[in-house]
Structures are given as structure tokens and as C-alpha cells.
Amino acid sequence: METIHLKEYETESVELCDQDIAFISRELIGKIAISRELEGRKYKLNPSQYVGLISLPSGRTIEIRPKIPISSLFYLVAIAFELPSPFRQELAKLERLDQIFEFIASFFADLVEERIANGMYRWYVEREENVPAIRGRINFSEDARRNFISRQRTHCRFDEFTWDIPENQVIRQVVHSLSGWRFRHELRLRLARIDAELGEVARTTLSSEDVKRFQYHRMNENYRQVHQLCNLFLQNASLAEAIGTFSYRAFLLDMNKLFEEFVCQLLRNRAPRRVGIQSQECTFLDRDNKIRMKPDILIRHKGTVVLAADCKYKRLESDEYKNHDVYQILAYCIATNTPQGLLVYPKYLEDIPGDVWITRAGVHIRQVSIELDKESRELARSCDSFADELLESLLIRRAA
């Protein structure tokens, strides 16, 4: 089937059938802008900040490529979702988005099969059932309501040691959803087989936020990596459809959000002890807590906020528009009572102006950039240097 090639933030004219037009207009609203050309039968498509793959109802595929190299894109993904180093090296060798997505799905299947082979994590879940023999504790009020006349059963509340728990349910949810993608035949069969092996686990509709709330300990620490991939798929793919149906297929990375998560995790990876990196932490600008805001990143040293940061993966079109970024980070600094602000941009867009000193507020705002169009190893070294220099300068200023 034909592939429609788009590029991040660029408009392209393409011919579309009625069902594809309806699908894009209905299912991808807010992600893919679509409009009819004044003359002819073509439509204009603009993916804004989204990159990835879309399977259209007609069987055609939309591939949206980023402005940065593919290897750089998935270096961002690997850091943001804490994927392991050998995996990143294999990923860097691939050049097409469909190859990369299939590679990630295959790697995910490897991890799930390993978990099944080693024994899935089980835990106690409280259940209530009307059982023929007493089990656990009797729920007297419910038992009286259900079994007032017939006493062959007793309504009980008990703990069951089971693997039908959220930590496993989300794995089956993602496996089942991925089995509906247009991967090569062998991978689809493999995912379908894994789905069948997890038949005792309920298929749920958990979100990426649910995954982020999982707590890890000695018994389930080896689940962390597979859950990171679940989070990647849930956050960026259409994996929240009704159970058993596949209404559409899209794997779209929001570059704005990805860049923010990348910078935050990069700093976490390099931060020394007693330095905490929080993302999207709620704070208020005013005394009465009416003006709510969420800085992209807050850096704390020994519990005190020492820097508020905002990550801007977007076009910088005018001086007025750039000033809005300064106004925003200034508000974050005032709200968190810190004199240090930071604006982080990808350098491939354009040159970034230098530091800004807000004299009356006593706030110093740094404007820095990260070059994302480097070769993968050089990019990794450059990013690590950026994080180290930033954290070191903060600690030196704090000590002074």
C-alpha cells in the first residue's frame, strides 16, 4: 500500500478518499490539521509537532518524519522512557519509522516472554464472592441480603494470591493492542500467542498515568523496563480503544512533550545526591491559589527549589513570541521563589539569545540550546555535558 510522507510542522498536499478524510477529521483532530485546497481534489495536511505512523482505513499509511535525524529522535525516546543502552545502539542503526516501531514492539515481546518464562509477579487481591464454603471473612450485611432464604452459599471477603493484578493487566492490554498492528506476519503471530498465554489476566484500559503510579520493590523490580515500554505505547499510540476492537491505529510522538520528558530524565540521570528533579509539579502564583501553574521542571537542592525550567520544542518566529517564553519562566520563578530560571530549546531551530537579568525581580534567566542533529554518540556526550554543566553551576551558586 502507498505511504503518504509528511514532515513535522510542514504542510503537504495529498489526494485522499472519503473514508480517510472522515477518519483524519474525526480521530486525529488536534493532531493533524486538514483542509481542502481551493482548486482540485487534494487536501492539505499539517502534522504540527507530531511525528510517527498512522494506518488509514483505506490501507494507506501516513509516515510523519521529524526535522531532526531519526537516530536523534529515538535517542530522545530512549532517554525519556529509560530504555537500556544496548537497545539504543540497535535502534540507531534503523532509518525508517516503521522499522523502528516494529523493532520496539519486538523488543517488548522479548521482555514479556522473559517475564512469562521466569514466572509472572503475583500478589494478594481482595475479592468478594458468594461461595459454597466459608472463605476468609463473612460479609454479614451482603450475606443477609443475598442468602436470607437459601443458605447453600455464604458471601465472603477474602484475599486471593493471583497474577491478575494491574502490573500484569497493563502488559496484556498492550500486547493485545499491538497484535492488531500491521507488523510482519511472524511478529503478529508472536504477539497473538503471548496474548493467549496471558489469558488468565484481564484486559483492561489502563493509562500511562496508571503505569507511572506503580511502586517497585524487591519482588517486582524486574518489571520496571517492560512497564517503561507499556508507558511508551500507551502515551503515544491508540491503545485505549474498547476491549476487543481496533478502531484505528496511530503511533504519534508529541515532540513538545517528548523534548520536555527527555530534558527532565537527562537531568535526573546526571543529578548528584540531594538534588531532586520534579516535572509538572503544581504550584500557584498568587496568595489565594487562584492562578495555578505547572513548570516543566523544578530542580531542588536539599529540598529547596534552586531553578525553574521550561522546555520549548517549537518555532521561534518573532521577538515578541520569544518574550512570551521569558514572561512564562519569570512567573514560574516568582511562584517558586527562586532567582534562577532556564529556557531550553533545540538548537536546530535557530540561534538562541543569551542570558536575561530581570533586575527588579532579582531573577536570572538562562536561555540554552541542545543540538539534536549530531551523530548518536556525539549527541549523547553533548547532552551529558549540558546536564553536568548546568547542575554544577547551580550547586556552585548555591554554595556561594
pLDDT at 165: 87
Q: Is 364 domain-assigned?
A: yes
Read off the pLDDT band of 239 (50, 70, 90): very low
Q: What is the mean pLDDT of residues 53-76?
A: 88
DSSP-based three-state secondary structure for 64: strand
**Among 64-73, 154-163, 303-312, which stretch is predicted with the lowest mean pLDDT?**
154-163
Q: What is the mean pLDDT of residues 28-44?
A: 88
Q: Is 26 domain-assigned?
A: yes
pLDDT of 308 over the 80 cut: yes
pLDDT of 183 over the 90 cut: no
Q: Is 225 domain-assigned?
A: no
pLDDT at 349: 53
Percent pLDDT > 70 in the chain is: 89
Residue 47 and residue 140 in one domain: no
Residue with cell 505505547: 233
Alpha carbon distance 186, 29 (integer Å): 33
Q: What is the mean pLDDT of residues 374-395?
A: 87
pLDDT at 123: 81
Of 46, 65, 84, which closes a domain?
65
pLDDT at 348: 60
Residue 298 and residue 373 in one domain: yes
Residue 273 and residue 144 in one domain: no
pLDDT of 209 over the 60 cut: yes
Whole domain around residue 13: which residue ranges?
Answer: 1-65
Q: Is 34 domain-assigned?
A: yes
Q: How many CB atoms lie within 10 A of CB 129?
A: 14
Read off the pLDDT band of 156 (50, 70, 90): confident
Higher model confidence: residue 95 or residue 221? 221
Read off the pLDDT band of 264 (50, 70, 90): very high
Residue 260 and residue 392 in one domain: yes
Residue 290 and residue 364 in one domain: yes
pLDDT at 338: 93
Q: Is 196 domain-assigned?
A: no
**Listed residue (251, 345, 253) closest to 296, CA to CA:** 345
pLDDT of 295 over the 90 cut: yes
pLDDT at 88: 59
* Structural domain count, the chain: 3
Residue 130 and residue 28 in one domain: no
Of 133, 162, 191, which closes a domain?
162
Q: Strand ranges (DSSP E) for the chain?
A: 3-7, 12-15, 33-36, 42-46, 50-55, 61-65, 123-131, 137-138, 154-162, 249-254, 275-279, 283-284, 292-293, 297-301, 304-311, 340-346, 356-358, 363-370
Higher model confidence: residue 177 or residue 84? 177
Q: Is 48 domain-assigned?
A: yes
Residue 173, CA distances (Å) to 135, 194, 221 in order: 31, 11, 20
Read off the pLDDT band of 247 (50, 70, 90): very low
Question: Which pTM does this prediction carry?
Answer: 0.81
Q: Is 347 domain-assigned?
A: yes
Alpha carbon distance 368, 351 (integer Å): 9
Residue 14 and residue 140 in one domain: no
Q: Is 219 domain-assigned?
A: no
pLDDT at 21: 92
Higher model confidence: residue 350 or residue 132? 132
pLDDT at 197: 93
Of 111, 144, 162, which closes a domain?
162
**Among 237-241, 280-284, 371-375, which stretch is predicted with the lowest mean pLDDT?**
237-241
Q: What is the mean pLDDT of residues 90-101?
A: 73
Q: How many CB atoms lie within 10 A of CB 292?
A: 11
Residue 152 and residue 286 in one domain: no
**Among 47-51, 117-121, 228-232, 344-348, which stretch is predicted with the lowest mean pLDDT?**
344-348
Most confident of 6-15, 91-100, 124-133, 314-323: 6-15
Mean pLDDT of the chain: 85
**Among 149-153, 191-195, 283-287, which stretch is predicted with the lowest mean pLDDT?**
149-153
